[in-house]
Amino acid sequence: MSDFIAPAGRYAPSPSGDLHVGNLRTAMLAWLFARQSGRNFYMRVEDIDSERSSAESAARQLEDLAAIGLEWDEPVLYQHDRGHAYADALAQLDTYECYCTRRDIREAASAPHAQPGMYPGTCRDLTEEQRALRRSELHAEGRLPAIRLRAHAREWTVRDYYTGEYTGPVDDVILKRGGRVDQAQAGDWAYNLAVVVDDGYQGVDQVVRGDDLLFSAPAQAYLADRLGFTAPFYIHVPLVVGPEGRRLAKRDGAVTLREMMAHASAADVVEKIAESLGYVGISDAQTLLEKFDPERLPRDAWVFSG
């Protein structure tokens, strides 16, 4: 078998409920960018959060994506099957145990000189004696420590289609979540590790996602570098927001495909998505693919009013 992996794009929803029109629009854009550039296009089910994910939700999401005309290359990758790959990757990295609770992190983040949204490094440089004490305290509470990356870079630069070069901070991100011993799952892997490992495994070199995630790209690209992968080329696209300008949510009414199809067809929904991309009168994905020009993509958020 050849070691060559064809370049690819992907869409990777979390199966915690039906996809709303903002999710569907981003999925459509991911498919358009991948297929227009001759890439494979993969569907990945990000179901490592066992408390929120369900097989039923995953099946419904795939049905909805197919209903708007998206097709993908097999197989569909389910992250709950990938624990061995995440464990192998974790063993290659410089890591440390983190004993902090969410409250500890919130309080440390509010301290003077703390960087907003960044882990302050509370557990990074503990001595072995301090670690043994914290581990014992945690065990007495019935809790497990989280595992964090010990980053050796403060910032990293990524390439994005619309932003150009973007340099952002690199955090000691969580790679494996902690939690209660009696509730621990074999799949307590953190998103930042799983997404990087799976992109590398599938040959994903193009990532399309909402522009609210641009800030997290440098840390993920740094992690990819540590694991010997080439970081993908990013395409961060504008979000879909509700009438009040906030990120689209259930409070904005009928926003999922199934809700909208109570009074419209899947083709009608595709036409609405196409209009948001600057194309009027197109109601099927294949025709949209033929017409799609990345330079025409509106750079402002799309206000969805139902």
Detail the residues annotated as belonging to a binding site. 10-14, 46, 98, 100, 119, 123, 191, 209, 250
Q: Where are the alpha helices (DSSP H) in the chain?
A: 21-36, 55-67, 83-91, 102-109, 128-140, 191-202, 217-226, 257-260, 266-276, 285-291
108 closest CA partner among 99, 98, 97, 119: 119
Asked if residues 90 and 175 have their Cβ atoms less than 8 Å apart, the reply is yes
C-alpha–C-alpha distance, residues 254 and 305, integer Å:
9
Q: Which residues pair with 42 in a beta bridge?
A: 10, 73
C-alpha–C-alpha distance, residues 15 and 219, integer Å:
24
Integer CA distances (angstroms), 93 to 61, 89, 132, 167, 286, in order: 34, 7, 21, 22, 43
* Residues composing the chain: 306
Question: Binding-site residues for Zn(2+), please?
Answer: 98, 100, 119, 123
Question: Binding-site residues for ATP, please?
Answer: 250
Amino acid at the residue 257? L
C-alpha–C-alpha distance, residues 247 and 72, integer Å:
27
Question: Binding-site residues for L-glutamate, please?
Answer: 10-14, 46, 191, 209
